[in-house]
Amino acid sequence: MTEDRGSEHVRRIADATGLDARATARLRVLNCIRDAGEASRTDIAAALRLSPATVTFVTSGLMSGALIEEVANQETGETARRGRPRVALRLARGVHHVAGIKIARDAVSVLIVDFDGTDVAKGEFPLAKSQMEPRELVETVRSCVARVCSEVPGGIEALAGISIGLAGQVDANTRFVHWSSSLTRRNVDLGSLLDAELPCASFVENDANLVAKAEHLFGEARGLTNFLVVTVEYGVGLGIVLDGKLHRGERGCGAEFGHTKVVLDGAQCQCGQAGCLEAYVGSYALLRDAKGILKDPKDATVMALVAAAERGNAEAKCVLDRAGQIFGMGLANLINLFDPERIILSGDRQRIAHLHSDAVMSQVRRSVISVDAPLPEIRVHHWGDEMWARGAAALGIERVSALKVRDLGRDAA
Amino acid sequence: MTEDRGSEHVRRIADATGLDARATARLRVLNCIRDAGEASRTDIAAALRLSPATVTFVTSGLMSGALIEEVANQETGETARRGRPRVALRLARGVHHVAGIKIARDAVSVLIVDFDGTDVAKGEFPLAKSQMEPRELVETVRSCVARVCSEVPGGIEALAGISIGLAGQVDANTRFVHWSSSLTRRNVDLGSLLDAELPCASFVENDANLVAKAEHLFGEARGLTNFLVVTVEYGVGLGIVLDGKLHRGERGCGAEFGHTKVVLDGAQCQCGQAGCLEAYVGSYALLRDAKGILKDPKDATVMALVAAAERGNAEAKCVLDRAGQIFGMGLANLINLFDPERIILSGDRQRIAHLHSDAVMSQVRRSVISVDAPLPEIRVHHWGDEMWARGAAALGIERVSALKVRDLGRDAA
DNA sequence: ATATTTTTTTCATCCACCAAAAAAAATATA
DNA sequence: TATATTTTTTTTGGTGGATGAAAAAAATAT
């Protein structure tokens, strides 16, 4: 019974992240406050199994670094109790602005948030071409962020970090891009290019992982430690969070759910292989198979296909049904392999409606090996357009938090 | 520190969450020595980034608890160097005996090892029936272990732990068996039954996870932190180790690779569902599909099927080829999802030969989404018969290590 | 106005870890 | 053979982070 407190966790986390013990304690408290939204020192002590004395020490450090702030008492809607009232703490607002930016096929979207995750400014810019030279991409990032920052005091120079989401195989730790659909070249050391052009810290991550981050910090996965996020759009992506950490795999490139094989020698996929899940479920696959129905190319959207199916078009229904069946099988396999707390389907309402129908869910139930415990919850999260940029911002906040708690230590020393 | 009732509760929590700082340090050093086989204090300090002073302190504690021992100098085959010679440390031998026991369909195998993993005694006992009442199973465990222990000084009373491998859905933390093919009943709290009947600590685990443990401690996964172990026998099992820890999933029942779906509305599986990987790859599936070839029921083995294929029997070849294709697709999907350092195929030589042929490996390469990094290594490990029992013993050693390092702290206080 | 309750801070202490010095145990060299 | 050198291990004294206990603070209850 020597140890029911949290010091052992601190060491484990410290080993993994490279932060020293003090910074790790600060980060744990910060994340606890973020998870709770608002928390008093007593709450934090209970949640992290730290002594009140430690919490006072750590929070005073965080406050001096303007990472958290006290909530004025009258703001808390607490029923008056006896005793000294708790002082709620929350993440600092209006400071440490972070830019999240997503490079898509035809547009760049930028979202600027403060440390609390509150929106500060946003913008979307069309892209002339879907593939760019690395330098061109970096310049695009800089100029788009700068334009959105014109609304923000201090401009781009005042940002605490810029976080970039890219489709493809991205090593977030080294900021090395093995391959991305947005770049004309493979194997680009984007990190050094970014450092040369940008006035602040920058981060790069695979876009599905970003959405997982967004769900973890701001969405349907708050407080969870084992969950999966499936994104369906042009392709199909997967973010895996196990034990509270993004699982990026040995080669650092994340999971490729969209290219798991669901049919031996099946349909041709854009990746060059055959039988990929994405080749049945991705929006480009649906539209490919629905050419006969959606003759007008400018009407060739998933929404139109769904509408046709609802009007009773048998062929449209067939295409969507098959996508649903395959998708249900894929989801069931994820559950069989990972047994997560929750699976979150993230994406545009119209684009994923057919993927969480009763038919799909019953397909999942039929295919998950039965345990007496109930099936993991499958939730749908309809983000707005800025889903990806918000994910990038979430990553940015996380990284900036780590930098700040580390630098607080520097100042003291 | 002298509360009588509360402290027990606190201890339970501490047990569930982990160990105190001192015990954790001891365990880290212990694992470092186990990984290395033999290591001097200097080696340990370098490997764990601890100061020599700390290593001396920790190792002296481990030696006083008879968990490690010094290797007499002449035993080390070191070239004579200048300076005080290093004293190698290794796990203690001949002490802390642990029994690993596997309950299979038709037999019980028991393996007793010492703290170092060295075999001390073993035995195999036929089982009259493949399913038992929980009490009957516990009694079988006790009597089989006791019989093998008759060769061991001290007998069953002197064992540091008994570790039991069961097929099915087992929650290793609570020792609760949701379902097992060896039990006539579902939802059995095996832990309390075991505690009532056995004179020492006992542990329960799913059999595929056990093999993963065995590979990690003694096999092809020594020193790795992210790997998968696939077992092929009657069924197909998967053990997942991520970040050095077994991933057991939210419901604690481990991964069900054998029942991931590979064909929509495919072949019927013993689990009642359709299209499971196991229904194409498991030995019972092969034999089911090969009934026309292997007419003599006593000759109905995978080995005979492989032999028939080698003799040019087209039907046999077809059954094996399909199994190989499906298996290759399954392996590729594991790589796409987990991106492990290594995948280990564990099992009997004859039973898995057709699953790592060139054809299967090229199927894997065709189905893994290409990265510039090389494919994860796929290794085959042919264990002897006692693979499962050795896995159970590996788990036992791990658990006993945790108990011992914790109790060392107790004695000091 | 005083007592009570609860939260937060202060303070002395504990414990793991460390750097540096000392000791130990070998080889190299004169 | 005696002494110097090298390397490992142990001892010693000190440091920093977390802690328990006591004090302070800030509210309600009487």
In chain A, how many H helices and how many E strands?
Answer: 14, 16
Confidence of residue A18 (pLDDT cuts 50, 70, 90): low
Confidence of residue A10 (pLDDT cuts 50, 70, 90): very low
Residue B273 touches partner A, C-beta closer than 8 Å: yes
pLDDT of amino acid B233: 81
pLDDT digits (tens, 9 = 90+) for B233-267: 888 999 999 989 999 888 777 788 999 999 998 88
Residue B79 touches partner A, C-beta closer than 8 Å: no
E strand or H helix that includes residue A294: none
CA–CA separation, A92 and A68 (whole Å): 4
Q: Which candidate in B226, B337, B343 is best for mutational testing of the A interface (most A CBs within 10 A)?
A: B337
For B346, the 3-state DSSP assignment is strand
Q: Is the pTM of this model over 0.85?
A: yes
Alpha carbon B321 to chain centroid, angstroms: 29
Q: Which candidate in B260, B325, B343, B377 is best for mutational testing of the A interface (most A CBs within 10 A)?
A: B260
pLDDT of amino acid A79: 64
B413: nearest Cα among B59, B57, B22: B22
pLDDT digits (tens, 9 = 90+) for B304-352: 888 888 898 888 899 899 999 999 999 999 999 999 999 999 988 777 8
Q: What is the mean pLDDT of residues A103-129?
A: 94
Do the Cβ atoms of B343 and B330 come closer than 8 Å?
A: no
B85 touches strand D (CB under 7 A): yes
Confidence of residue B403 (pLDDT cuts 50, 70, 90): very high
Q: What is the mean pLDDT of residues A290-306?
A: 79
A163 touches strand C (CB under 7 A): no
CA–CA separation, B309 and B179 (whole Å): 37
B267 — phi, psi (to 5°)?
-60, 150
For B185, the 3-state DSSP assignment is coil
Q: How far is the CA of B51 from the C1' of D14 (A)?
A: 15
Q: What residue has its CA nearest to the C1' of D7? A: B83
Confidence of residue A402 (pLDDT cuts 50, 70, 90): very high
pLDDT of amino acid B385: 80
Residue A173 touches partner B, C-beta closer than 8 Å: no
Q: What is the mean pLDDT of residues B93-98?
A: 94
Asked if residue A43 has pLDDT above 90, the reply is: yes
Confidence of residue B151 (pLDDT cuts 50, 70, 90): confident
Residue that wins the pLDDT comparison between A410 and B267: B267
Residue A208 touches partner B, C-beta closer than 8 Å: no
A7 touches strand D (CB under 7 A): yes
CA–CA separation, B326 and B362 (whole Å): 12
CA–CA separation, A283 and A351 (whole Å): 8
Is B254–A339 a contact, with Cβ atoms under 8 angstroms apart?
A: yes
CA–CA separation, B76 and A193 (whole Å): 52
Alpha carbon A317 to chain centroid, angstroms: 32
Q: What is the mean pLDDT of residues A313-330?
A: 91
A57 touches strand C (CB under 7 A): yes
Alpha carbon A280 to chain centroid, angstroms: 24
Q: What is the mean pLDDT of residues B81-107?
A: 92
pLDDT of amino acid B271: 82
Residue B412 touches partner A, C-beta closer than 8 Å: no
A12 touches strand D (CB under 7 A): no
Do the Cβ atoms of A260 and A330 come closer than 8 Å?
A: yes
Q: What is the mean pLDDT of residues A242-269?
A: 87
CA dihedral in degrees (B113, B118, B120, B125; nearest 10)?
60
